[in-house]
Each structure stands twice: as C-alpha cells, then as structure tokens.
Structure 1
Amino acid sequence: MSERAAVKRRFGHRARLALSPARVRKADDQAHAARTMWNLLHAWWRMMPKEKRTLANADAAIRQAREDIDFLAVLPAQAAQAVLKTYFQAWKNCWEGRAGAPDFKGRVRTVMSVDVPQGRDLNIVRVHRRWGMVNLPKIGRVRFRWTKDLPVGKRANGENRITGARLIRDVLGWHIAFRIQTLEVQPEPHHGPDVGIDVGVTVPIALSDGETYEHGEWLTDKEQAKLLDLEQRAARRKQHRKPGEHTSRRLHRTYDQIAGLRAKAKRRALDWQHQTTTAIARTYGTVVVEALTITNMVKSAKGTVDQPGRNVAQKSGLNRAISGEAWGRTVIMLTYKTVRRGGTLHKVPAPGTSLRCSACGFTTPGSRESQAVFACKNPDCGWAGNADHNAARNVLHLYRMGLALIPAAGRAVVRRAKRVKPATAR
C-alpha cells in the first residue's frame, strides 16, 4: 500500500434504462405516487401547528396515507421514507438560507423521479460488454447501459460500493442515477506542463501551446430541419389557442418532440465536453482559465422604452451561442478532473486578455483585426498570429506573473504569488 493518504470520494453515475412499456407504466405510477406523497406532506405541514411538525408525526401521517389511499401502495415503503427525508431536508436548507421554501409539485413541470435508498436492494450484475442488470423494487429485473465500471460483485466492499440510486425520467426516457462511494489513494502531483485556456464561440477552446478543440453542430442537417419544422408547427398551433385555454394534446406532443431533439443535442455536447476536459486534465499539470462573469455577458440588449437597445437581434444570437457553449460547465469539469489527477486549476482576471499582445504586453488600438487574427500595432513589436492563441498565452502569463484569483468573503481578490516564473517561459 502506498504511503499516500486515501481519500473517500462520492459521486454519481447516470445510465439509460431499457424498460418495456409495462414497466414504463409501473415506473410512471411510482413517480406520480412519490409526487403525490410530497404534496400530501406539504399539505400536512401547512395544516399542523409548529409544535407537532416532527419527523415522527410526519412518518405516522404517511403510513396512514399509504393505508387509506390505494394509489400510494405502488410506491415502495423505502421510497416513501426517502420522500419524507427529502422534504425535511428541503426545509432545513430553507432555514439555513441555501434554498427557498418547499412548495407543491405540479404534474407537468415536475421531474418524475423515484428514490432507491438502499444499494443492496439493486443487486447489480454485468451481463454483457454494453449491458448490466439491476433490480428495481416493484418493477423487476431490468437492463441498463453499462458505460462505466461499477463497484459490484467482488469489487464491492465496505469502502467501495453503491450506496443507492434514483430513477429519473426525462424526454429521452427513464434513467438510473447510481450513488457511488469509493476509497481512492490521493494522486501524486501532476508534473505536466502549464497551459492557459481561452474559451470562445467560433473556437470553443484554444490553448496557449497552439492546440485547439472544436466541434461541429450538435444536430445533423436532417435533425435541424426537423427541429425547425416542429418549432414552426408549434407556433402555428399556439396561435389557435385562446387565452386561458388548456394546451391541446397535439401541441403537447409537438413540445415533447422538440424537447427530445434538444435533449439529444445537449447529450452530445456533454459527451464532447467530458472527452475534451479529460484529455486536458491528463496532459497538463496546471490549467489556467479566465474568471468570466457569464451572467453579465448574456444580459439582454433590449434596454427600456425610453432608451431602447441597439443590435438587439445580434446580441440575442450571441447570448444563445454563449449559453450553448456552457463555459461554466467546462470549468467545473476541469476543476474536479485536474484535482483527481494531481493537477491544479487557477483563475485569472479576464479584462484585456484578448486585446493585449502576448509578445510585447502592450494594448494598442486596432490590434484585434478580426475574430481570428491578432496583429500588434506597436511599431517596436509587429507580432501577428491567431487571436485565440494570443488570448490563451495572456491568460497563462497572468498566472505566471502571480495574478491568480482566490475567493474571499464571497468575492474574488487578486493574489500575488511569492514565486514568479520568468516571462521568457511563455
């Protein structure tokens, strides 16, 4: 055993379930029963005086409800207890200021889910290179996509095991999210090179060493044409709906088809982000990114009635492109993946990185000739190159100058490192 300390790691893994139509109905019934149980608990909470709002009284109330309402019997008893614990935890989060107060869950907008608190009830077995089998209470033995090695069978022990799961339904069908606990040896320091990263819309990720990571459209031409047709169809059907009238089933089906295509695009984007960030975390020991305030970057340009905005349509398109690239999610992935491999991630101030020359360090008007070309207008320099790589080199240089940001009292402050690397190492 290595002398390095072992750390306990908890994470989740989501896999797609292969359910028959009959089992899909069973899972739907359980999810609706769990939502009904939540609403009954919330109604009980609002009705009871404060001194009687205890966990024991709530447990007695849901037990009585399961006896009186036949529909709730389809929900496993442990799943009902999980609803109770989740509800009380929601109030605790509200009292501690981490979330708002719990409310009733509607049938349409609520994510359908069922909790399986005990991992030992799952009885997971791998039966094929691509498929595994899992036991779901009151549903039966079902298949799921095996895309990650799980601590099951001989690999499972007190420290490496699956502690539970949750069934979740989205527009692409039912999935299972495993809760996994592992004991891993703390990684050795990553001795890979330093790299600065510049994120953008035209070039999603550009590195300071000249490497770029790009992607195409998330949907094929045929899928894009179908999405456009569905959106136009939904707009036409929506015009015939009177104010206050319920949405028709046809329109609901159209919305579901639109949501399915968008979910497919998001799944492909997530896969690309995971592969890209994993490759960066494996190669580089120190990753430096810009501290971007994305919420300010995607604000609308409509303005007010007295002072209307300019180029509103262009700004709206840019906002959609920025949101589609999900820069914040990329940074989150890089953060935990670099730590798991012994590396580090740092953030530096963002202003001026794309306008400053990485060769001479001066900012001169007109140097950013286009989206892709940077040509320094300093007479003593005259350096020219790719604009994205120039910005990534500036990001790395700010870190090597000791200008790294650390959170302090809810805000970012500049930290000047004690050890400064020479500027020639850029």
Structure 2
Amino acid sequence: MLTGRRYRVEFTPEQVEFAEQVGGICRSVWNTALEQRRAYRERGAFIGYAEQCKQLADAKQDFSWLTNAPSHCLQQTLKDLDQAVKTHGTWKVRWRSQRKWSPSFRFPDAKQIVVERVGRRWGRVKVPKFGWVRFRWSRPLGGVLRSATIVRDGRHWFMSFLVEDGQATPETHPGPAVGIDRGVVVALTTSDGDFHNRPFITGGEAQRHRRLQQQLARTREGSNRRKRVVAKLGTVMRRVRLRRADFNARTAATLTSRYGTVVLEDLATKNMTASAKGTVEQPGSRVAQKSGLNKAILDKGWYGLELAVNNAARYTGSKVIKVSAMYTSQTCSACRVVDAASRESQARFACTSCGHVEHADVNAAKNIKAAGQAVSGRGDLAVGRSVKRLPPRPRARQHAAPAVRGIPVLQGREEVKW
C-alpha cells in the first residue's frame, strides 16, 4: 500500500532561493488557473485539466519565468487544482496567499528521482533542476518510490516521499470492539476505562507564546519586526503541532493493534469550531466562551486522531465505524435511559433512573461502542441511515399479489372471487 516518508533536507543557499522561486511560480499557476475556472463558470462554460495544460505550454512562450520551474511540478499543480475542484467545487477552493501559504510542490515522475544513502545519518536525492539535495536519513524508505514533495515548514525544508511498501491490508482483525469518546479535558477515553491524554505545550512555552503575542500586537503590519515575531510564534507552535501528531499516531497504533473494531463519534469538527455570531463587546454574546471551546477542541486534535486511526487501520485490518453523537453523553450505559440531569458534571455520571454511577467519559464511550455494534450487526451502510432491527423486505415481495383467500373484486356488476 502507499505510505509516506518525511525527511528534513539541507538545502544550500542557492537551492533555498530556487525552492522559494519554484514555490512562488506554482502558487501563481494555481491562482491563475483557479481564476480562469471561476471566470468560465460565471458564463456557463467549463475548462478542465487538459485544456489548462495546453494553455500553460503556450504561456511559457510569452512568460519566460514559467520555464524556471520544473514542468512536471506545474502540471501537478494543475492536477491538484482539478482534484480539489472535483471534491469541493470551484467556489470553495481557496486562493494560495503569499503571506499565509507555505511553498510546496511535487515531483510526480519517479523515473526522474534518484535516492542514495551516503552515510549512517545522511542521504541524498536528485530531482529535476535542483541537482543533488542532502537530507537526514532518519529512517529507511522501505518501498518503491512513487513521487516526492518539497515543502517548507517554518525555517526548515522537508521532502516527503510517497512509496509503495508492498504490504496489504489484512481481511479481518480478531480483536474485540472498543468505543472512543473524545473530549476537551481528556483527549481520548475508551469504553474499557483507559484514558489517553498528554499536554502538548509546556508552561514555559505557554508563557513565551503569550509574550510573543503581546509583541505581535505592538508591531506594524508588514514590518520586518513583525515577520520575526511571527517566525518565533511559528517555532513554538510547530513543536506543539508535532507533539500532537505524535500522540495521535501512537494512540492510533495502540488502538488498532489491540482492537478489531474502533467506533468513533461522527463529529463535524469544522462546524463545531466555527466562531459564534456577534462581538465580545456585545451584551449577552458568548463569543469569548465559544472561542475558548474552539481552542480546546483544536488543541486536542480530534480530526487528526480520526485520520491517524484510519491510516493505522490499513495495516491491522481493524474496522473503523462512525456513529451519531446524539445523546451519547446523556444516556445511561446500564439501563439506556436518556436524561440530561444524569450528567452531573464533566467527569461524573449518575443515572437518575437506576442509580448507576460512572465516569462520564467512560459511560459515553460505552454508549458509542453499543451504537457501533448495533450498526455493524444490522447492516446499515452509513451513519445517516436509520438503524433497523430487521432488514427491509425486498421490493418484489412488498408488491406481490395477495394470496387466494376469497377477496371480492368488483368487475362491472358481478362479484368475482380469486
């Protein structure tokens, strides 16, 4: 199966300058092609990847700076745009801002990429128009190379190799099922009573981040000092982001190796973290409270955990099921009675019907597990479909002719029996 390998590259100063130039050209091609697609849509026409590639070849004759970038990188940019438009729609695809977007471009042809190991800690790769590029050999490739992507993350550049590792997904996993409840206090709680959580930012880093934010508020827009402060903020948050990704990957590997079925809540994280309407100064608004909740949800990395579980399940054969999150925190896992008053606090659940007392997150995880087993056992194909105890009768049987039981049928003035 296809998997990724990421390495930190050590560019020369000339290669850094050239990588920035190639990233800027790819960004310009993306924005121009997106603007062209939107202009076509406005007048009811359509333009696709093939036609835009032809026009790009013609544009190189008029704009010589397009020839500085590798041609395959520009074609891959148009292909990525085409896929994004097919997935999200022409009007929902975003522009690539020079200030916010990190340079990134891909070499899709593996025949033009050569990878060699030159030492215990170092390797080198040869890509078109860059020549040989040194990178830190932190792990073996472990497969057949398919493509390579160069991206800048903060002050450093990285190269991601897409490789075919030759492994196949197992048909089944003999392990039991588990329900997963994601929270803002504890990142993950299982139905077996296990709690998975860790802090992603230290106390010193939090203080430094707060001071940098204060400095940022006192800088002018577009100044060099503001750029330096933004770079320092990015360095702190990059460490936090990497710790969160490491936690999600390790937790996902543990869950998928131990359990054959992992049941998650179907959470629309993007909608849940949308800003509240109004302003902070507006009386009665809950913008500040919603902002704090949004930060807590994003800090725990709910969506990143879901992606990590799906990725790890490819190697173990575990099934990942998503169920509706409605009333999972208000339902008693013992008697199945739904009552909002049973959730006494964030950590305590005491059923008002049967008196069952349990940690609230464990109780919710048990309800999620039960919902996942019901869905998988009754054969529903999606979260949005209703859970039926019996499968529906075939359409042919539903409209079959009634049995011969003497049902009177009027034909004209006579009464006839079948």
TM-score, L = length of structure 2: 0.78
1:232 to 214, 226, 239: 214
Partner residue in 2 for 1:253: 228
Partner residue in 2 for 1:423: none
Aligned pair in 2 of structure 1 residues 39, 371: CA closer, same or farther (>3 Å)? closer
For the pair 1:29 / 2:21, whether they are aligned, the reply is yes
Aligned counterparts, 1:191-340, within 5 A: 191-216=174-199, 218-238=200-220, 247-303=222-278, 309-340=284-315
- The answer (yes or no) to whether the contact 2:60–2:67 under 8 Å persists in 1 is no
Give the superposition deviation at 1:170: 2.5
Q: Residue type matched to 1:300 in 2?
A: S
For the pair 1:64 / 2:61, whether they are aligned, the reply is yes
Partner residue in 1 for 2:81: 90
Distance in 2, Cα, partners of 1:374 & 1:355: 8
- The answer (yes or no) to whether the contact 1:302–1:309 under 8 Å persists in 2 is no
For the pair 1:108 / 2:99, whether they are aligned, the reply is yes
Distance in 2, Cα, partners of 1:44 & 1:360: 59
Give the superposition deviation at 1:57: 4.5
Aligned pair in 2 of structure 1 residues 254, 388: CA closer, same or farther (>3 Å)? same
Aligned residues: 383
- The answer (yes or no) to whether the contact 1:405–1:412 under 8 Å persists in 2 is no
Which stretches of structure 1, 4 residues or longer, exceed 6 Å deviation after superposition?
39-47, 101-104
- The answer (yes or no) to whether the contact 2:33–2:52 under 8 Å persists in 1 is no
Find the residue that maps to 2:265 and give its secondary structure: strand
Give the superposition deviation at 1:94: 3.8
Partner residue in 2 for 1:6: none
Partner residue in 1 for 2:408: none
- The answer (yes or no) to whether the contact 1:405–1:413 under 8 Å persists in 2 is no
- The answer (yes or no) to whether the contact 1:365–1:377 under 8 Å persists in 2 is no
Distance in 1, Cα, partners of 2:33 & 2:262: 47
1:124 to 112, 115, 124: 115
Distance in 1, Cα, partners of 2:179 & 2:190: 6
For the pair 1:19 / 2:11, whether they are aligned, the reply is yes
- The answer (yes or no) to whether the contact 2:52–2:78 under 8 Å persists in 1 is no
Partner residue in 2 for 1:156: none
Q: Residue type matched to 1:190 in 2?
A: H
- The answer (yes or no) to whether the contact 1:39–1:104 under 8 Å persists in 2 is yes
Distance in 1, Cα, partners of 2:186 & 2:56: 55
Aligned pair in 2 of structure 1 residues 405, 31: CA closer, same or farther (>3 Å)? farther
Partner residue in 2 for 1:136: 127
- The answer (yes or no) to whether the contact 2:9–2:133 under 8 Å persists in 1 is yes
Distance in 2, Cα, partners of 1:296 & 1:88: 28
Q: Note the residue ranges of structure 1 that are not aligned, 5 or more in a row.
A: 1-8, 152-159, 239-245, 420-426
Give the superposition deviation at 1:294: 2.8
- The answer (yes or no) to whether the contact 1:11–1:179 under 8 Å persists in 2 is yes
Give the superposition deviation at 1:394: 1.2
For the pair 1:413 / 2:385, whether they are aligned, the reply is yes
Q: Residue type matched to 2:227 in 1?
A: H
Aligned pair in 2 of structure 1 residues 225, 371: CA closer, same or farther (>3 Å)? same
Give the superposition deviation at 1:134: 1.6
CA deviations 1:165-200 (Å, max 9, x no partner) are 121112142111222234433414100111111110
Q: Note the residue ranges of structure 2 that are not aligned, 5 or more in a row.
A: 392-418
Distance in 2, Cα, partners of 1:278 & 1:412: 28
Find the residue that maps to 1:328 and give its secondary structure: helix
Aligned pair in 2 of structure 1 residues 293, 50: CA closer, same or farther (>3 Å)? closer
Partner residue in 1 for 2:405: none
Distance in 1, Cα, partners of 2:35 & 2:374: 58
Aligned pair in 2 of structure 1 residues 309, 120: CA closer, same or farther (>3 Å)? farther
- Give me the CA root mean square deviation: 3.6
CA deviations 1:390-414 (Å, max 9, x no partner) are 1111111223344889666xx7113
- The answer (yes or no) to whether the contact 1:302–1:308 under 8 Å persists in 2 is no
Of all paired residues, the percent bearing the same amino acid is: 31
- The answer (yes or no) to whether the contact 1:406–1:412 under 8 Å persists in 2 is no
Aligned pair in 2 of structure 1 residues 97, 43: CA closer, same or farther (>3 Å)? closer
Aligned pair in 2 of structure 1 residues 407, 148: CA closer, same or farther (>3 Å)? farther
Q: Residue type matched to 1:149 in 2?
A: P
Partner residue in 1 for 2:343: 368
Aligned pair in 2 of structure 1 residues 143, 284: CA closer, same or farther (>3 Å)? same
1:169 to 152, 159, 168: 152
Find the residue that maps to 2:384 and give its secondary structure: strand
CA deviations 1:38-82 (Å, max 9, x no partner) are 6777899989x999x9467435424425xx73x55543xxx2243
